[in-house]
Amino acid sequence: MIDLSNDKISIIISKGSLEGIYPGLIMANGARAEGMAVNLFFTFFGLDAVTKKTMEHVKVATVGNPGMHIPTVIGMLPGMSGLATHMMNKKMEDLDIPSIPEFVEMIHDTGAGMYGCKASVDMFQLKEEDFCEQIDSIITVGAFYEMAHGGQIVFT
């Protein structure tokens, strides 16, 4: 096995759907388990993963999602997103994958840094109190790059 203890990874989460948020959280959790330093940067709709009002209500995107393998016209029917979300949450529960709020807390408790994008926060007129307690700070892209320097950056 490769020694990853001195490696650093910064993961950008920019999508506000289950299939847009979970890959970054799973990658962050795996990296921490390997001893890597991890920073998560939530931007645009990825902020839904750490916004108190939305983090427990993230849904599967059924329209324009080729991974759903259903015609767009079916995906846009009322209730399809809710049904797909329910089915996905059930599968994840069966596999003992934590909910988004639990996963965010768990990853933060391992020492990962969690940051909101200042430009996105300003654009959506959010305030620091709108975010879960695991958000360490709202930072600029420049501050994120300084933090990520010397490590890998993954955009999900």
115 touches 139 (CB < 8 A): yes
Quick check: 3 pLDDT over 80?
no
Q: The domain containing residue 150 runs over which residues? A: 8-59+100-155
152 touches 8 (CB < 8 A): yes
What CATH number is attached to the domain comprising 129? 3.40.1260.10
* Residue 38, domain member (yes or no): yes
Question: pLDDT tens digits, residue range 18-40?
Answer: 999 999 999 999 999 999 999 99
* Residue 142, domain member (yes or no): yes
Question: pLDDT tens digits, residue range 115-147?
Answer: 999 999 999 999 999 999 999 999 999 999 999
* Residue 46, domain member (yes or no): yes
Number of domains making up the chain: 1
Could you tell me the pTM of the whole model? 0.90
* Residue 66, domain member (yes or no): no
* Pairing mode, strands 8-13 and 152-155: parallel
Name the β-bridge partners of 10: 39, 153
* Residue 133, domain member (yes or no): yes
